[in-house]
Chains A and B, each alone.
Chain A
Amino acid sequence: MFKDIEHLMRLSVVMLLALVLFVVLRAAVVPKSFGQYGHYRGNAIAEIAARPPAFAGHQVCEGCHTDVVDQKKLGRHANVPCEACHGAQGKHADDPASVKPQLPDTAVICARCHEANSAKPKGFPQVVSAAHSGGLACNTCHKPHRPKIEDEPKTASVKPTGGRK
């Protein structure tokens, strides 16, 4: 029955060797964490999670700048987070002594939110800045942390003539 078995044996030895080679190579090449959660490298999750954040988060800012928090509470910017205007301050939060943040330019930063646009929600305070202030920096009259002008002597040379929407 198995009179010509020898060539079958040789073939099976070759196939077995190929199988062993495949298993050894696969074990060497595929990362250890592959398949930990699914068909991907499980360690990739931890690697992506390990990156340092650039934005510190307003809770961190509020830990030190309590005077600003008290000012903001009184006005309509109470819920505007610090880094919305001041930019990413993670480095400043890590090393407040040597990394000093730049003050933002109010003429640019205020207009991004408050420049009139028909797509903005109707109740949102908007101005046409050219008509409202004529290109003057907003902080000439308004304090950004507490923007409403009240109980202050109206000494500003330019009064808003209009442009409100």
Chain B
Amino acid sequence: MDITRRRLLVLLPAAAVAWKYIQAGTPEAAPNYKIAEHWWGMLIDIPKCIGCGSCVRACSEENDVPDGYFRTWIERYHVADWKIERPQVTSPDGGKQGFPPAKEVGGKNFFVPKLCNHCEDSPCTQVCPVGATFVTPDGVVLVDKSYCLGCRYCVQACPYGCRFINPKTNTAEKCSLCYHRITKGLTTACCEVCPTGARQLADLKNPKDPIHEFLRTHTVQVLKPHMATGAKVFYNGMDGSVR
């Protein structure tokens, strides 16, 4: 078959279209999940948190988190009346087994659950040299285990201390916002087990999600807003001493 100029002009666009299909790769694991129609975040209602540690235990079990490492954890804050900049923060075993009765007298005490903030402009994904961590089109920061070198840049880059190196796999690990659950229509493991509803998964692209009403009617903050990370874990009733 001689390739004439006319034939080549027809073949080139066809080849380009075929190449696009090859590049697109395998289909989605959850066929009914439309990645462009979600933008995930979380709401944490601090006045509702009782520090029971259900979320920490559930997260460990759901995600097979090694002992002594945490994808989510609870901090107990003790703020003396005149030392708002120097809170005492404790988190025995990440709050996994709850908290012992407090010894401190006076001041104020409260619990703050922490997890990955799933930042829109996340510092951790920007420093990855190999493209092993990324923000998905639906706003979740994930780690591609098979691509991660374990160089620890991202562990240092995260201003919230949400990442660690898994000692078994030697790759970076973090909260995946239970991506394997939320894409199947479930909520995250921590939100599923929270007995007081202090944690709520939020889909910011879903106009029917109660998060919009909540954000309009409450005074809500994110952690370290001065770092402009675009954090999507919203804290209600958060004290100024929380770091």
Contacts and interface: CB of A to CB of B under 8 A. Distances in A.
A35 B23 contact: yes
Contact of A88 (B58, B76, B99, B131): B58
A159 to B, nearest CB: 24
Interface string B121-132: 000000000011
A98 B186 CA distance: 24
B230 to A, nearest CB: 16
What is the size category of the interface that chain A forms with chain B? 35 or more
Interface string B11-42: 00000000000111111111001010000000
A48 B26 contact: no
B142 interface: yes
Contacts, number: 152
A49 B179 contact: yes
Nearest to B112: A119
A84 B146 contact: no
A117 B62 contact: no
Given A81-B193, A119-B51, A41 B24 contact: no
A46 interface: yes
B62 A113 contact: no
Contact of B111 (A44, A57, A112, A119): A119
Contacts of B76: 119
Interface in A107-165: 111-113, 115-121, 124, 128
A51 B136 CA distance: 17
A115 B179 contact: no
B50 interface: yes
A43 B142 CA distance: 12
Contact of A44 (B49, B51, B147): B147
A45 B142 contact: yes
Contacts of B137: 37
A36 interface: yes
Contacts of B132: 40
Interface residues of B, number: 62
Nearest to B147: A41
B176 A48 contact: yes
Interface in A73-128: 79-81, 83-84, 87-88, 111-113, 115-121, 124, 128
B28 A49 contact: yes
A112 B53 contact: yes
Nearest to B77: A119
Contacts of B54: 84, 112
A50 B47 contact: no
B195 interface: yes
Contacts of B111: 119-120
B3 interface: no
Given A84-B194, A88-B58, A36 B24 contact: yes
25 contacts: A32-B23, A33-B24, A35-B23, A40-B133, A40-B134, A43-B26, A45-B35, A47-B29, A48-B180, A52-B180, A53-B184, A55-B193, A57-B187, A81-B192, A83-B193, A84-B193, A112-B98, A113-B50, A113-B98, A115-B101, A117-B99, A117-B100, A119-B78, A120-B51, A120-B111
Given A43-B26, A49-B183, A57-B192, 20 more contacts: A33-B23, A33-B26, A40-B134, A46-B26, A46-B27, A46-B28, A47-B29, A47-B144, A48-B144, A48-B180, A53-B62, A53-B178, A53-B180, A53-B181, A57-B186, A81-B192, A112-B97, A113-B52, A117-B109, A128-B101
